Amino acid sequence: MATAISKISDSDWERTCAGYGAWKYATPLPPEGLIWSTGGASIENFLVLGDAWSHLVNHFVPENATVMDIGCGCGRTARFLIDNRWISRYIGFDVIETNVKWCNKFLGAVRQGVAEFYWFDLHSAEYNPSGALKPHELRFPAAGRSVDVAFAASLFTHLLEPAAKHYLAEIGRVLSVRGTAIMSIHSNPLPGSRFSGNETRIDIESAYFVELAATAGLYERERIDDFGGQQVFIMGTTA
């Protein structure tokens, strides 16, 4: 089976989607290989899910907000968020270097000083098999209690259990007192299991995800049972 990075070429970060222009004042589309790496089977799917997630995130964005996009990919949601003038700082990071280079070239320049994109050389069998850094060693690029909205769109669907626990702990660390965390999961683990799968697809029992989040100081505010085929949890910090 092809991995998420199998269609990416080294030069993809320099290009935009074939057949679509990079028009002045319009955010360009990434090339096919990068769209594929986000799970987008088509440009339509890429745009529809990015738009939907931006509406969800924007609903919880307060004025003068810092927003963190955990697993930003090639900017599927960022492209819709960076023009929100209530967002004073957007932080996106990802495990696929080409995605981050593309975002810095084509999105970071749109709002210089506001949009930041970072690459971390994290090991992932699906997304970065040669990565040198273990996922549980990652420290999110933000100070404690400094992020007002942290969101992870289809990220926990690819994290092994130790990494998932660590990422929840980091979300709990960076989330502000007024902050909101928005995270999606697949919620159908194998019978008799609360957490199953590999980095291609992870499933977590809903109640177990809530328990793991609670150990990180996060509590459930709201749940959306179907959002683009995944279950979404909206959480706040107990601190």
pLDDT tens readout for residues 146-169:
999 999 999 999 999 999 999 999
CA quadruple 146, 80, 13, 7: dihedral positive or negative? positive
Task: Return the top range by mean pLDDT from 4-13, 41-50, 158-167.
Answer: 158-167
Give the pLDDT of residue 31: 95
Q: Is residue 126 part of a domain?
A: yes
Residue 9 has pLDDT above 90, yes or no: yes
The mean pLDDT of 2-21, rounded to a whole number, is 90
Give the pLDDT of residue 224: 98
Quick one: which of 237, 206, 194 has its CA closest to 219?
237
Q: Is residue 130 part of a domain?
A: yes
What percent of the chain shows pLDDT beyond 90?
Answer: 88
Q: Is residue 4 part of a domain?
A: no
Q: Is residue 17 part of a domain?
A: no
Residue 181 has pLDDT above 60, yes or no: yes
218-227: strand order across its sheet: 115-119, 87-94, 65-70, 147-152, 175-185, 230-237, 218-227
The mean pLDDT of 211-235, rounded to a whole number, is 98
Give the pLDDT of residue 111: 74
Residue 4 has pLDDT above 70, yes or no: yes
Give the pLDDT of residue 1: 56
Tally of domains in the chain: 1
Give the pLDDT of residue 70: 98
Q: Assign residue 148 the CATH number of its domain.
A: 3.40.50.150
Output the average pLDDT for the chain. Answer: 95
The count of C-alpha atoms lying within 13 angstroms of the C-alpha of 57, restricted to the half-sphere facing its C-beta, is: 32
Residue 173 structural domain:
27-237
Q: Is residue 14 part of a domain?
A: no
Lowest mean pLDDT across 17-21, 49-53, 198-202: 17-21
Q: Which long-range contacts (CB under 8 A, 24 or more apart) does 111-118 make?
A: 111/82, 111/83, 114/82, 114/87, 114/88, 114/89, 114/90, 115/78, 115/82, 115/90, 116/89, 116/90, 116/91, 116/92, 116/141, 117/72, 117/75, 117/78, 117/92, 117/93, 118/91, 118/92, 118/93, 118/94
Q: Is residue 12 part of a domain?
A: no
Per the CB < 8 A criterion, the answer to whether 88 and 116 are in contact is no
State both tokens at 227: 């959002």
Give the pLDDT of residue 40: 76
Give the pLDDT of residue 22: 79
Query: What is the pTM assigned to this prediction?
Result: 0.96
Give the pLDDT of residue 51: 97
Q: Is residue 94 part of a domain?
A: yes
Q: Is residue 13 part of a domain?
A: no
Give the pLDDT of residue 232: 98
